[in-house]
Amino acid sequence: MARPAGLSGFPEWLPDGRLVELEVLDTVRRVFELHGFTPLETRSVEPVDVLLRKGEIDKEVYAVRRLHSEPGDEDALALHFDLTVPFARFVVENASRLDFPLRRYQVQKVWRGERPQEGRFREFTQADIDIVDVDRLATHHDAEMALVMAEVFASLPFLPPATIHVNNRKVLEGFYRGLGVDDVPAVLRAIDKLDKIGPAKVRTLLVESGLSEDVADRVLALAQIRGTDGSVADEVRALGVSDPLLDEGLAELVAVVEAAQRVRPGAIEADLHIARGLDYYTGTVYETTLEGFESFGSICSGGRYDALASDGRTTYPGVGISLGVTRLVSLLLGRDLARATRKVPSAVLVAVVDEESRPASDAVAHALRSRGIPCEVAPRAERFGKQIKHADRRGIPYVWFPDAEGDTVKDIRSGEQVGADATTWTPPDTDLRPRVVAVTDGEAESEEGAS
C-alpha cells in the first residue's frame, strides 16, 4: 500500500495513494469555489524577516539561497511554513487591487524543519480559506469558516466522521484573568494535553505551574465543558468567574455554535479545552478531530486574528481555517481507511493481437477516448493471458479484444465477455474513473481485493 518512503518527512505516495490525495484536493477546490472563495497562489519563498516576527528565532524554517550566491548579495529568503503569513503579506502589497471583504482559498505545499513523526511532515500540503476585511470583519464569518470545512468533510464519504471543535480565546483569557492566573501560556499548554494525558494529570501540571488547588479545579472544569447551544455559556458562568472579556467571548462562541448547528447539526461543537498556541489568534479558534482517531491530532485548524495584516495605517482583520491535506491523506493511507478502486485512470486496456495490427488497437483507443473513456493500449503483443494480467494488476476493469470478425470487451472481474463497438460502448459510471472508497473490515486483510 502507498506510504511514505525515502526522505523522512518528505512523503511520496504511490500512484494509488496520489489518487486518494487528488480526490481530497478536487473536493476541497470544488467546495471552496461553491462557497465563492477565489483562488490564490503565492510564491514559495518569503524574506526571512516576513516569516519570523522580531524576537522569533526558534521557528524551524528552511533558508533558501543560490548555490552560487556570494555572501550578502541577496536578501535572505526562506520557504514559507504556512499560507497565512504569505497571504497577509500579499494582502498588504495588493490591497488597492483587491476587493474587500476578500474570500480566498489557497492550496499549496509548506515546509517546516520540525522532527517528523506520524502525521507530522517537513513538506506538506495545506488547504486554507480565509476571509479578510478592512478595519472590521463581521463575526458571522466565524461560523461560515467551520461550515465550509464541515461541507468538505461531508463530501468525502470515505472519511471517518469529523467534528470541528470551536472555542474562543476571549473566553479563556477572560476566565483566567478573572481567576488571577499569571502564567496563561503554561495553563494553555497544560489544557492542550487534556485529550492525551487526561484530567488528573493535567490537574497535576496546573498545580505544578503555580495554581492553587481551587483555581486548578476551576480551570479544569472550564476545559471540560462542551456543547452545541447557549447552555455552554450557562455552564461557564456557573463556575463563578466574571470578566468583561469572558462575557464577550461567550457571546461570540455561542453565536458561532448556534449558527453552525442550524445549518449542519452535530458537525461543530463548542469545546472549551481547545487552546491553540497563543500567537495571533484573538477570538474564535478551531480544531478538528476524526472519530476514532482523536489522538492523531487536529487535521483542520484555524481561527480569527483581529490584525491579520497591517500596513501601519489600515488594519485587516481575518478569520481562516486550514486543512492539513497531507496529514489527512497519510492517516487514510497509513491506517488503510480508504483506497482508490484502481491504480491507473484507464477503464479499458485495449489488447494488441500482433504488432502488425497495433494500428487497429490504437483506433479503438482513439474512439473510446473521443467519448471520454480513459484507456490505454497494451504495451506488448503478448499472449492474451498476459495482457489480461497486465490489466488485472493495475485494476483496469475491462480488456478490449479487437477482431476483424467483431470486437469483444471482457469485464475481467466477472469474466463476462460480449460483442462491442468502440463508437458506442460505454462502461458503467462507477467504472469510468478510479474512485476512492472506504476500506471495510472484510477488505482490510486482502491487499488487492481480487473479486
| 332 CB-near residues (< 8 Å, 6+ apart) | 20, 158, 159, 338
CB nearer to RNA: pick between 82 and 443? 82
Question: Between 153 and 241, whose beta carbon lies closer to RNA?
Answer: 153
In the complex, what is the shortest distance from the CB of residue 31 to RNA, in angstroms, rounded to a whole number?
A: 17
Indicate the residue among 233 and 305 with the shorter CB distance to RNA: 305
Query: Residue 414 Cβ, how far from RNA at the closest point, in Å?
Result: 7
Own/partner long-range contacts of 411-418 (Cβ < 8 Å, ≥24 apart): 412/388, 413/451
Cis amide bond preceding 434, omega within 30: no
Contact 166, 256 (CB under 8 A): yes
Distance CA 17, CA 334 (A): 10
Shorter beta-carbon distance to RNA: residue 261 or 288 = 288
Residue pair 225/236 in contact (Cβ under 8 Å)? The answer is yes
Cell of 211: 495554581
For residue 177, give Cα distances in angstroms to 169, 307, 315, 349: 12, 22, 26, 68
Q: Which is nearer to RNA, 241 or 267 (CB)?
A: 267
Taking the complex as a whole, the smallest distance from the CB of residue 161 to RNA amounts, in Å, to: 17
Half-sphere exposure of 146 (CA within 13 A, CB side): 35
Cβ at position 94, least distance to RNA in Å: 24
Closer residue to RNA in complex, CB, 7/238: 7
Orientation angle between helical segments 169-179 and 213-223, nearest 10 degrees: 160
Alpha carbons 67 and 128: distance in angstroms, whole number: 32
CB closer to RNA out of 20 and 250: 20
Specify the residue, 33 or 114, whose C-beta has the smaller distance to RNA.
114
* Minimum CB distance to RNA, residue 8 (Å): 3
Site of interaction with RNA (CB under 7 A) = 4, 7-9, 82, 112, 114-121, 124, 126, 189, 193, 196, 276-277, 279, 287-288, 297-302, 322-324, 326-328, 351-354, 381-389, 392-393, 399, 401, 408, 410, 412-413, 415, 417, 450-451
Q: Is 351 helix (H, G, I), strand (E, B) or coil?
A: coil
* Closer to RNA by Cβ: residue 254 or 308: 308
> In this structure, what is the dihedral angle of CA atoms 435, 436, 442, 446, given to the nearest 10 degrees?
80
- In whole angstroms, the minimum distance from the beta carbon of 203 to RNA comes to 15
| Smallest separation, CB 64 to RNA (Å) | 19
Instruction: Give the other-Cβ count within 10 Å of 210's Cβ.
Output: 13
Cα distances (angstroms) measured from residue 130 to each of 35, 96, 244, 254, 410: 12, 18, 28, 21, 49
Q: Of 337 and 388, which CB lies nearer to RNA in the complex structure?
A: 388
Cell of 167: 472555542
Pick the closest to residue 318 from 307, 327, 310, 332 (CA basis). Answer: 307
Minimum Å distance from CB 79 to RNA?
Answer: 13
- Non-local (6+) Cβ contacts of 184 within 8 A are 172, 173, 176, 278
- Find the shortest distance in angstroms from Cβ 120 to RNA: 4
Whole-number minimum distance, CB 435 to RNA, in Å?
Answer: 18
- Could you give the CA distance from residue 217 to residue 196 in angstroms, rounded to a whole number? 18
DSSP labels for 381-441?
---HHHHHHHHHHHT--EEEE--TT--EEEETTT--EEE--TTT----HHHHS--EEEPPH
For residues 74 and 208, which CB has a smaller minimum distance to RNA in the complex? Answer: 208
**Least distance to RNA from the beta carbon of 30, Å?**
20
